[in-house]
Chain A
Amino acid sequence: MSLKSKLHELKLKYQGKKMAPAFNAFHTFLFAPDETTHAGGTHVKAADDLKRTMNTVIMALIPVLIFSMFNAGYQHYSAINGFPTDFSLMNDFLTWDNFWIGIIKVLPLVVVSYGVGLIVEFIFAVIKGHEVEEGYLVTGMLVPLIVPIDTPLWMLAVAVIFGVVIGKEVFGGTGMNILNPALTIRAFLFFAYPTWMSGDKVWVHGARERSEEILAGANLDAISGETILGYLAQNKGAEMSYSVSDMFYGFIPGSVGETSAFLILLGGLFLIFTKIASWRIMVSAVIGSLVMGFIFNQVVDLGWVAESSKFYGLMSFEFWKHLIVGGLAFGIVYMATDPVTGSQTNKGKWYYGFFIGFISVMIRVFNPAYPEGVFLAILLMNVFAPTIDHYVVRGNIKRRMNRLKDATIYPKDSDGKAEELKAETV
């Protein structure tokens, strides 16, 4: 008796009972459902259901996850032993030692995020009596990738419960939420436990422990693990030691999965190619951030900002580099394009994306407390996305009404033509 038939029997046994959604979810997760529609009636056959959509996004995230596991170890050992002088990908980066740090630090984050989130989903599905929704599959993968590596697991669990319940389930579950659940979780962590979420001790594994040991009197070198943005926000003057290619390929400290702009770019292209994510949002967000960065660069070039100003460090940062450091690339590709919380209209997507990029860079520069403020910019635009949509739709209606009015007020040659126009416009 195979697992499949056992599950099928359990499913039949509990059909119509309270626990039915839980067994259904296991069954459809592990096997292809055997219920098909039979003859009679017309059906739409489409391959891209919710599950397929979610799986595609996860496929785009897998390379980022694997890279982040190696990078966790690479940053850890480099911070202790110093960065390798002649960097070679195979010898210094893709090593078992690096990967081991990833396994013991990154994998638990993924497991806790999925475990806690899915338990909450199952509970709600059983209570409310609907099928378990697939919405958490992507959220659960995104969450571990946007937190600092040393985040304690209980914090993550608390935040996931908050994010899934308050951010999503109270609105009626998947597809109804107004804020991106992954970002709600990140924002909860950020405001509830700020010392674990920002500063220069959280981005590299071991930096916090080491600083505590030093405080206790151990004779060790401190591990410095600042992000590039955190460094620039303090306006210390001298250049960081990271090269542009380091920033682009992601050999820099930062949240677990946000560092590699290269792999995120590949993931973004994959999502555009499979038509899962909106290219309009991505393009307009990139344009928005470049425009804002360029304005700040011009302000610096014109000499309006003194070098001693607290904004100088980030204002003088070349505008295109904003895209390859920090969470901006990750946010644009995986967060802003969330089809539920983003703008739904094509025209609205341009405004929505543009303001995400624009406000992200603005927060980075003007708000030294939040150099990693991309997630807040996306949350803010999530709040305003329905407003944008509302006005785009109103504008459309108004334009069509006007066309209709023109067609009826000026019947040119014959009544027939006006009728034709009317038929076209309505």
Chain B
Amino acid sequence: MLEHVELFFKSIFIDNMVFAVFLGMCSYLAVSKKVATAVGLGAAVIFVLAVTVPLNWLLDKYLLQDGALVWLGPEYAEYNLSFLSFILFIATIATMVQLVEIVVEKFSPSLYNSLGIFLPLIAVNCAILGGSLFMQAREIETLGLAFNYGVSSGIGWFLAILAIAAIREKIRYSNVPAPLRGLGITFIITGLMGIGFQSFGGMLTGGGEETEEATEQVNQVQQLEVVEPKEEIVEKKTEVDEKVISYNDVKK
């Protein structure tokens, strides 16, 4: 029970999909102009993550891991199909997104129209694939935990897009310098929001070994802890920036 609570809290705040690892930025930046639309997309992402992560967990457990095929017979014990993870995970995700699209189109045509191209694009949203791959990399142990992980990462992404949509609605009439209008100021807002979310960085995990060590080392450890993610963030950000630009170019 306690591990569920910890994983839930950790995935929402500490390892937030947007502010800790900067995943799923394309739709985060593009669909965050209005709160209502952002809520719709956020809910879709929660749903897709909640379904695909446990499904992919089953795939990983019984098909892809080293020796996972042993349930077919002892002669299969040596097979390791993990090189197929990407293809199979994406296949699951694409199927689920198709399902969501059909459901949304049937029950909420207005939301379907306002989400536009970004609904089918959830299939290639890196937050979704990232959820499955993190699940694999972190070796989440049970199906229940995998489901928990999917839901809570989705909620973390949902909170991020909700907050930035509200901020963008608030600053709609601000006198932002002309070169920064639109995407530029959104990137700056995202960075500043990331500072706010830093409050959870290292929570629960940080400081475990520090207590025994000398205080000078505490300083060093803190410096390492704090500085490293920053650099990572900057790198990731430029990466994402390029991605968005290339995506826009392709669209044009």
Binding site for B on A (CB under 8 A): 128, 166-167, 170-173, 176, 178-179, 184, 187, 190-191, 194-195, 198-201, 233-235, 310, 359, 363, 366-370, 373, 376-377, 379-380, 382-384, 386-387, 389-390
Query: Contact: B223 with A195, CB < 8 Å?
Result: yes
With both chains docked as a complex, state the minimum distance between the C-beta of B3 and any C-beta of chain A, in angstroms.
16
Assess A363 versus B203: contact at CB under 8 Å? Given A194-B219, A386-B170: yes
Knowing A194-B222, A198-B222, say if A377 contacts B195 (CB, 8 Å). no
Complex formed: what's the CA distance from A173 to B195 in Å? 20
Answer yes or no: B47 CB below 8 A from chain A CBs. no
Give complex CA distance A190, B35 in Å. 32
How many angstroms between the C-alpha atoms of A386 and B175 in the bound complex?
A: 18
Q: Are A187 and B188 in contact (CB under 8 A)?
A: no
Q: Which residues of A contact B202 (CB under 8 A)?
A: 367, 369-370
Beyond A367-B200, A380-B197, is A387–B163 a contact (Cβ under 8 Å)? yes
**Residues 155-194 of B at the A interface (beta carbon under 8 Å):** 162-163, 166-167, 169-171, 174-177, 180, 185, 188-189, 191-193
B177 touches A176 (CB 8 A): no
Contact B227 A194, beta carbon cutoff 8 Å? yes
A386-B163 CB under 8 A given contacts A170-B177, A194-B223: yes
Task: Let me know if A387 and B166 touch, CB within 8 A.
Answer: yes
Other CB < 8 Å A-B pairs besides A172-B171, A184-B195, 11 of them?
Answer: A171-B171, A190-B226, A191-B226, A234-B218, A367-B202, A367-B207, A369-B207, A369-B222, A382-B196, A383-B196, A384-B163
28 A-B pairs with C-beta separation under 8 A: A128-B177, A170-B180, A170-B185, A170-B188, A171-B171, A171-B176, A176-B175, A178-B167, A190-B226, A194-B219, A194-B227, A198-B222, A199-B222, A234-B215, A310-B208, A359-B199, A367-B204, A367-B207, A368-B207, A369-B226, A370-B202, A377-B199, A382-B196, A383-B193, A383-B197, A386-B163, A386-B167, A386-B170
Interface assignment of B210: CB less than 8 Å from any CB of chain A: yes
Bound together, the chains give a CA A198 to CA B215 distance in angstroms of 11
Interface presence of B211 (CB below 8 A):
yes
Expressed in whole angstroms, the Cα–Cα distance for A107 and B215 within the complex equals 30
A227 CB to nearest B CB, Å: 13
B residues with CB within 8 A of A: 35, 162-163, 166-167, 169-171, 174-177, 180, 185, 188-189, 191-193, 195-204, 206-208, 210-211, 215, 218-220, 222-223, 225-227, 230
CB-CB under 8 A from B189, the residues of chain A are 178
Residues in B with CB closer than 8 Å to A379 are 195-196, 199
> Least Cβ distance of A390 to chain B in Å?
5
B49 to chain A, nearest CB (A): 21
B163 cross-chain contacts in A, Cβ below 8 A: 383-384, 386-387
Complex Cα distance, B185 from A167, in Å, reads: 11
Q: Which 6 A-B pairs have the closest CB atoms?
A: A368-B207, A376-B199, A172-B175, A386-B166, A387-B166, A380-B196
Closest chain A residue to B162 by CB distance? A387
Known contacts A171-B176, A387-B162; is A235 also within 8 Å of B211 by CB?
A: yes
Distance of B75 from chain A, by nearest CB (Å): 49
Contact indicator B215/A184 (Cβ below 8 Å) = no
Residues of B contacting A170 with CB < 8 Å?
Answer: 176-177, 180, 185, 188
